[in-house]
Structure 1
Amino acid sequence: MIEIRKVQQDDREQWAQLFRQYRSFYALQSDETVVDRVWGWITDPSHESAALAATVDDTTMVGIAHHRRFARPSTGTVGLYLDDLFVDPHHRGEGIGRKLLGELAIMAGANGLSVVRWITAEGNTRARELYESAAHRTHWLTYDLAPDARSPE
């Protein structure tokens, strides 16, 4: 039985293990400072970031979804942004990612939000199969601009 729920204070170790695997999957350098910082964010009710956990047997965490609200000025609405979705490789194909996405859709609907949006790497083919079957792929491209150290004028 798969249960989707909010991450709780006593989930720290299991969440951290999954988050480290997520970061490793995307070839991000191991950094416990990041793990600690993100844990602080998702367990702080006043922070914009939050997290869902997917558990089996009521105890074993097998998936995580980090999310936050975001303003959509072009439509005058607010959406739900999925920052990170990760399922333990030993539990892929069991519908856990789909259940996490479904819970995010329910949350968005219950709160009058206009969309659940996310990005993924082009080469993340396994996840893209799920995403293509669960959501509409947009025509938007993503760009990253490096910060400029100069002071604003």
Structure 2
Amino acid sequence: MSIKVRPLGDKDFFPWLGLFEGYSELSKSDLTDEKALRVWSWIIDKNHDLDGAVAVDDNGDFVGFTLYRGVPRTLSGDMGLFIDDLYVTPDASEAGAGRDLMAFATEYAKAHNYRKLQWITTADNAAAQKLYDTVGTRTSLVTYEAEV
């Protein structure tokens, strides 16, 4: 299986939605139509920071996606690219789609003068960590969150 990565476009909603449903299920997150439409509206809105890319196989099927956005890095006085989400189907993972999506995000960052890529994953996602350990450096940062 060969993989091609390209930016998400206006007409990609339904194939992307299938992947987003799989990602939500994997993340144990309840996905509603309202949430999916809101996220999609952010992706296609040229005035919104969220952007994304899709991995497509030889048959034209969507087999993975990544969503990312520029973020200010206050201590370095520059901008970075934060990868919010990266998901690939199991078969596409074996074909290197995750690596291809990371490479696409890296090139996107370079083209937009972002100085660093950052992302997080869950502590128990060994498959993602295996990939991420080859394309980046694990940091000592600990993530917190609070409901507001």
* TM-score normalised by L of structure 2: 0.95
Please identify the structure whose Cα radius of gyration is greater.
1
> Equivalents in 1 of 2:17, 2:131: separation in Å?
24
Structure 1 residue ranges, 4+ long, deviating more than 3 angstroms after superposition: none
Q: Percent identity?
A: 31
**Match runs of 1:19-98 below 5 Å:** 19-57=20-58, 59-98=60-99
Cα deviation per residue 1:22-43 (whole Å; 9 max; x = unaligned)?
0110111131111111011101
RMSD over aligned Cα atoms: 1.1
> Equivalents in 2 of 1:59, 1:121: separation in Å?
30
* TM-score normalised by L of structure 1: 0.92
Count of aligned positions: 147
- Structure 1, unaligned runs of 5 or more: 148-153
> Equivalents in 2 of 1:30, 1:42: separation in Å?
17
Residues 69, 81 of structure 2: 8 Å contact kept = yes
Q: Match of 1:6?
A: 7
- Structure 2, unaligned runs of 5 or more: none
